Amino acid sequence: MQLSCEKTIFMQKAIYYRTKLLAARGIIELTDRYLNFQVSTLDSRFGIRNLSIDICSIRDIRIKGGNIHPSIVVTSGDDSYEFVLSRANILYDKLKALQKDPVTDVRLKKPSPRRCDCGKWISPDYKYCPWCGSEK
């Protein structure tokens, strides 16, 4: 169960290359704050751990490979991480957009409160005024 207020932007099955010989299967998830990789149960038995990369710490993102098995390489600090997934281009675009403006949160782009005819301010979540019942 997720207890934080992160918003999932992208999720897909992927392969994470730790070295040229060792690859882990699992799920890659992009939230508005982190790029997470959850290792499958079978691979976690071999000692491969889940991975979480803070979006603000990502220095470089590139795509390798062709259309059949594209991979995305993420550089954070001194480490590079390579993920192979079929929709690598989509993940790349979403990561680039978050990297350009990591502070903006999609959830904050709500309509601003409006003033009712009775003079009270109404949250955009309300259709009717909680004080007078007016729809305006």
* DSSP H or E stretch at residue 120: none
Query: What residues are paired with 75 via a beta bridge?
Result: 60, 80
Tell me if 124 sits within 8 A of 114, measured CB to CB: yes
80 bridge partner residues: 75
In this structure, the answer to whether residues 44 and 72 fall within a common structural domain is yes
From first to last of its 136 residues, what are the pLDDT tens digits of the chain? 445 577 888 999 999 987 665 778 999 999 988 999 999 988 888 778 899 999 888 999 999 887 678 899 999 888 889 999 988 999 999 998 887 655 554 444 556 788 888 888 887 777 788 888 887 5
Is residue 1 in some structural domain? no
- Containing domain of residue 120, as a range? 111-136
Q: Is residue 55 included in any domain, yes or no?
A: yes
